[in-house]
């Protein structure tokens, strides 16, 4: 079993960890495969009420694995597959009956920030770095856009996605990407476990029914939109502009 993602499940709480710390947990097709596999194994989660998602090492998730989206190296198909896989993974998290908590331990960039927002609740610390620098690299952040719009509203999302760049945990908390903020990385665990304890005390049916309702109200389960967004992002990603920027970044 490949272990680029690990799942520990003990009673009411399951913990899913992105486990590619040497690559700052960037989304490669292999890691996404493992993430999906862990969810397959998890099934309906049995007695779990909460799933905590975090990154091994210092980063939460540093976005897409850039080597796999440079067409000269990966071929023309891989970027689209990677984006579609990420979009489907986010959708699967929304479909889980459990409450999902993103424990944003460090950098959450691009698709990584998207993953944080795809979780029901995101906790982080003031010094974490979050953001959507896609446009700076000639990339269209289409996969993450609908999730961000739902999370912080259409007005603020417009600014965040069009301006690109990176923000601090503090700023992310202020605009609503992060829901609970620890003053520093050292205090993140206490904050997370407090929240997890509160959630795990909930009735599982009540939690699942409430989550299903908010999914319906905010259109989270729009599968066609996820596919369309992945295709759009892939179509921009293979253009010369993006490819040149990505190659320059990799050097």
Partner 1 sequence: MIRVEDEGPVRIITLDRAEKRNALTPPMLSRLADAAEDLGSTDSRAVLVRGEGKVFCAGFDLDECRGDTSGEVMRAFMNELSRAIAAMRSAPMPVVLCAHGAAVAGGCALLGGADVVVADPAAKLGYPVVRLGISPAVSAPFLRLGAGDGSCRVRMLDPGLIDGARAAEIGLVHELAEDASSRAREIAASLAAKPRDAVRATKRLLNEISPTITSAQLGLTTSLSLTSGDEAHELLERFWQRKAAT
Residues annotated as catalytic are 134
Give the 3-state secondary structure of residue 36.
helix
Report how far residue 42's alpha carbon sits from residue 37's, in angstroms, rounded to the nearest whole number. Answer: 9
CB of 208 to partner 1, least distance (A): 9
Give the 3-state secondary structure of residue 5.
strand
If one asks whether residue 225 binds partner 1 (CB under 8 A), the answer comes out as no
Write the binding mask 73 to 92 for partner 1: x where contact by CB under 8 A, - elsewhere.
Answer: --------------------
CB of 58 to partner 1, least distance (A): 26
If one asks whether residue 160 binds partner 1 (CB under 8 A), the answer comes out as no
Residue that is written with structure tokens 């990420």 in the block = 86
CB of 199 to partner 1, least distance (A): 6
Report how far residue 102's alpha carbon sits from residue 115's, in angstroms, rounded to the nearest whole number. Answer: 8
User: What are the residues facing 109 on neighbouring strands?
Assistant: 131
Report how far residue 165's alpha carbon sits from residue 156's, in angstroms, rounded to the nearest whole number. Answer: 14
Give the 3-state secondary structure of residue 84.
helix
Report how far residue 50's alpha carbon sits from residue 63's, in angstroms, rounded to the nearest whole number. Answer: 24
If one asks whether residue 190 binds partner 1 (CB under 8 A), the answer comes out as no
If one asks whether residue 150 binds partner 1 (CB under 8 A), the answer comes out as yes
If one asks whether residue 176 binds partner 1 (CB under 8 A), the answer comes out as yes
Please, which of residues 48-67 interact with partner 1 by CB under 8 A?
none
Q: Which two tokens stand for residue 158?
A: 């417009």
Q: Which of 195, 226, 229, 237 binds partner 1 (CB under 8 A)?
A: 195
Q: Which is nearer to partner 1, 103 or 151 (CB)?
A: 151
Torsion of CA 5, 11, 13, 19, to 10 degrees: -10
Write the binding mask 118 to 137 for partner 1: x where contact by CB under 8 A, - elsewhere.
Answer: --xx----------------
DSSP 25: T
Full strand arrangement of the beta sheet holding 129-131: 108-109, 129-131, 166-168
Q: Which is nearer to partner 1, 21 or 176 (CB)?
A: 176
Q: Which of 15, 24, 129, 151 binds partner 1 (CB under 8 A)?
A: 151
CB of 33 to partner 1, least distance (A): 28
Which residues contact partner 1 by CB under 8 A? Answer: 99, 117, 120-121, 150-153, 174, 176, 179, 195, 198-199, 201-207, 209-214, 216-218
């Amino acid at each position: 079993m490949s272990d680029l993602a690990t799942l520990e499940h003990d009673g009411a709480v399951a913990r899913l960890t992105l486990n590619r710390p040497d690559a700052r947990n960037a989304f490669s097709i292999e890691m996404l495969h493992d993430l999906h596999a862990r969810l397959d194994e998890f099934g309906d989660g049995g007695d779990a009420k909460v799933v905590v998602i975090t990154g091994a090492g210092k980063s939460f998730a540093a976005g897409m694995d850039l080597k796999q989206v440079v067409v000269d190296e990966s071929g023309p198909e891989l970027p689209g597959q990677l984006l579609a896989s990420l979009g489907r993974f986010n959708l699967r998290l929304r479909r889980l009956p459990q409450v999902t908590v993103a424990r944003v331990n460090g950098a959450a960039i691009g698709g990584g920030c998207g993953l944080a927002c795809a979780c029901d609740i995101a906790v982080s610390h003031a010094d974490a770095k979050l953001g959507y620098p896609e446009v700076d690299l000639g990339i269209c952040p289409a996969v993450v856009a609908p999730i961000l719009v739902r999370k912080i509203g259409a007005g603020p999302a417009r600014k965040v996605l069009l301006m690109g760049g990176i923000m601090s945990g503090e700023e992310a908390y202020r605009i609503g990407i992060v829901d609970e903020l620890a003053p520093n990385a050292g205090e993140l665990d206490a904050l997370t476990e407090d929240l997890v304890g509160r959630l795990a005390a909930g009735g599982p049916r009540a939690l699942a029914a409430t989550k299903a309702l908010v999914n319906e109200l905010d259109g989270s389960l729009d599968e066609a939109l996820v596919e369309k967004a992945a295709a759009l992002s892939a179509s921009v990603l293979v253009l010369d502009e993006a490819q040149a920027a990505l190659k320059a970044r990799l050097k």
